[in-house]
Amino acid sequence: MIKSKLKQIILLLGDIAIFYLALYLALYLRYWDKPHSELWEQNSAAFTWVFLVWLLVFYIGNLYDLKNFVHKGRLVEKYLQSLAIALVLSIIFFYLFPYNNISPKTNLVIFAGVFSGLFLAWRFFFSYLLKNRLPKNNLGVIGYHPHLAELIKEFKSNPHLGYDIKFVILNEGETIDPSIRELVDIFDENDGLEELSSKYKITNIILAKDVNSSPELKRRLFNCLPLGISYTTLSNFYEKITDRVPLEIIGQSWFLENLDLADKKIFEFIKRSFDLILAIIFLLVTLPFWPFILLAIKLSSAGPVFFSQYRMGQNNIPFKMYKFRTMRTANNNYALTVQNDKRITGVGKIMRQTRLDEIPQLINIIKGQMSFIGPRPERPEFIAELKENVPFFDIRTLVKPGISGWDQISGEYHSASVADTMKKLQYDLFYIKNRSLYLDITIILKTIKTIIAHQGR
């Protein structure tokens, strides 16, 4: 079966081919003649750097996310947004690094038009292949959990993801949502697993039941080994598909198996070094703009220009976090921020959208209280309350809180409700488990995209 990563690599290789094909056609249209070798070498050398920028912009814009292939309109919208950013960056590049022997700006305009047609045609063709031609991973499930219903519906509405749950084997006493019965075949634990796996050509079996609790289940799974079937737990599969850790499925043993803090010591040292160096640089670069920001805050409403509040840091150690004030102080009970909060000033709204209000937190980073990337810090009084309703909530304080995090780039708005807090914790646990330089860089790039798109809080 073609894995998601391989599909994304195929997309990337197709984009690279289209880049150079579009450049060749753009030069042909510009001069109405086949580009000679010298002209091609000069332009391809200059545009290769531009191509790298475009690929980065496309990655940040989620144009390699297979979920975006479901709706063509959304795909076109995301492409046009990314194209606008890529063109601006390309113009800046050619301004900073002029190429006198070619006409890059004119060629860029022609190239953008040609490339857009080829790019969208390639994406629509690949979307057709994903939906109708490429083989899917046929899945069988043993046991049931409400999270499974979420995955079944996700795969039925997003065939581009390449998964199809064929059957669910219910254990004794388990029930299933009637609506799910219409989407998959249901069997009981007495039905033959080997026969069902062969009949449905199963490639993967998802275990929603603890294998160690049933010797008979172990035996049946062992007998399926000759069929070349892969096995995974529901929690691991759910994490792979959603980029979240399913709180309702895992227990204390999951944390013992997945959160080895000693294994991350080298990463934490490198991360702290980058945090300190970059925080000092950004603080020095932004300091000249502070007077203008402070003046804008003062003119927007009465009150102090800075806002400080105690938040819970790593290992449950409280610290005072700093921000530029974005809310009115009059009649403000300092309750949790809600979507479209009327306490936010006009200037404050702009600062929140562009994350300018977070600049003073560079001081927290220099002091070692925060990092650029990590779970957002919560107020101590709210943590005490949330720990009563959200399991394992205090685990998120095992790492330093950050200015931005995996939850912040998810594209979802999470309120202070228990349900939203649990979902936010699912993202935080995913980050804590998988944190790495690669993941941190990904979050930074996605945060930049959020800022550019004005999707701040």
Residue recorded with tokens 């850790």: 245
Just give the CATH number of 137-242.
3.40.50.720
CB atoms within 10 A of CB 352: 22
pLDDT above 60: residue 229: yes
Torsion of CA 346, 349, 354, 355, to 10 degrees: 120
What is the C-alpha to C-alpha distance for residues 104 and 38, in angstroms, rounded to an integer?
A: 15
Q: How many residues does the chain have?
A: 457
Residue range 422-429: average pLDDT? 92
Res 8: pLDDT = 84
Q: Residue 334 — pLDDT band, cuts 50, 70, 90? A: low
Residues 6 or more apart whose CB falls under 8 angstroms from that of 284 comprise none
What is the C-alpha to C-alpha distance for residues 198 and 145, in angstroms, rounded to an integer?
A: 24
**Contacts of the segment 42-50: beta carbons below 8 A, 24+ positions apart:** 42/99, 42/101, 42/102, 43/102, 43/104, 43/107, 44/20, 46/94, 46/99, 46/102, 46/104, 47/19, 47/23, 47/104, 47/107, 47/111, 49/93, 49/97, 50/90, 50/93, 50/94, 50/108
Res 3: pLDDT = 65
Are 164 and 155 in contact, with CB atoms under 8 Å apart?
yes
HSE-up of 28 (CA within 13 Å, CB side)? 8
- The first and second tokens of residue 304, run together, are 């102090």
Q: Tell me the three state secondary structure of residue 136.
A: coil
pLDDT above 90: residue 249: no
Residue range 40-54: average pLDDT? 85
**In the chain, pLDDT over 70 holds for what percent of residues?**
93
Burial class of 289 by CB neighbour count within 10 A (0 to 12, 13 to 18, 19+): exposed
Are 140 and 230 in contact, with CB atoms under 8 Å apart?
no
Res 295: pLDDT = 93
Which residue in 137, 155, 197, 127 sits closest to 3, CA to CA?
137
What is the C-alpha to C-alpha distance for residues 455 and 152, in angstroms, rounded to an integer?
A: 30
What is the C-alpha to C-alpha distance for residues 365 and 377, in angstroms, rounded to an integer?
A: 13
Side chain identity, residue 442:
T
For 350-378, the pLDDT digits (tens) are: 888 888 899 999 999 999 999 999 999 98
Res 1: pLDDT = 43
CA distance readout (Å), 148 to 64, 139, 159? 25, 12, 16
Q: Which of 204-208, 336-340, 436-440 has the lowest mean pLDDT?
A: 336-340
pLDDT above 60: residue 457: no
Are 423 and 456 in contact, with CB atoms under 8 Å apart?
no
Q: Tell me the three state secondary structure of residue 235.
A: helix
pLDDT above 60: residue 413: yes
Across the chain, mean pLDDT equals: 85
Which letter, b or e, does each residue of 60-89 get, where b requires 16 or more Cβ atoms within 10 Å of its Cβ?
bbbbbebebbbeeeebeebbebbbebbbee
pLDDT above 60: residue 455: no
Burial class of 154 by CB neighbour count within 10 A (0 to 12, 13 to 18, 19+): middle
pLDDT above 60: residue 456: no
Domain ranges of the chain: 4-133, 137-242, 261-452
Q: Residue 340 — pLDDT band, cuts 50, 70, 90? A: low
Q: Which of 17-21, 298-302, 363-367 has the lowest mean pLDDT?
A: 298-302
Are 186 and 167 in contact, with CB atoms under 8 Å apart?
yes
Are 396 and 428 in contact, with CB atoms under 8 Å apart?
yes
DSSP 374-427: SPPP--HHHHHHHHHHSTTGGGGGGS--EEE-TTTTSS----SSHHHHHHHHHH
Q: Do strands 371-373 and 318-324 pair parallel, antiparallel, or not at all (unpaired)?
A: unpaired
pLDDT above 50: residue 223: yes
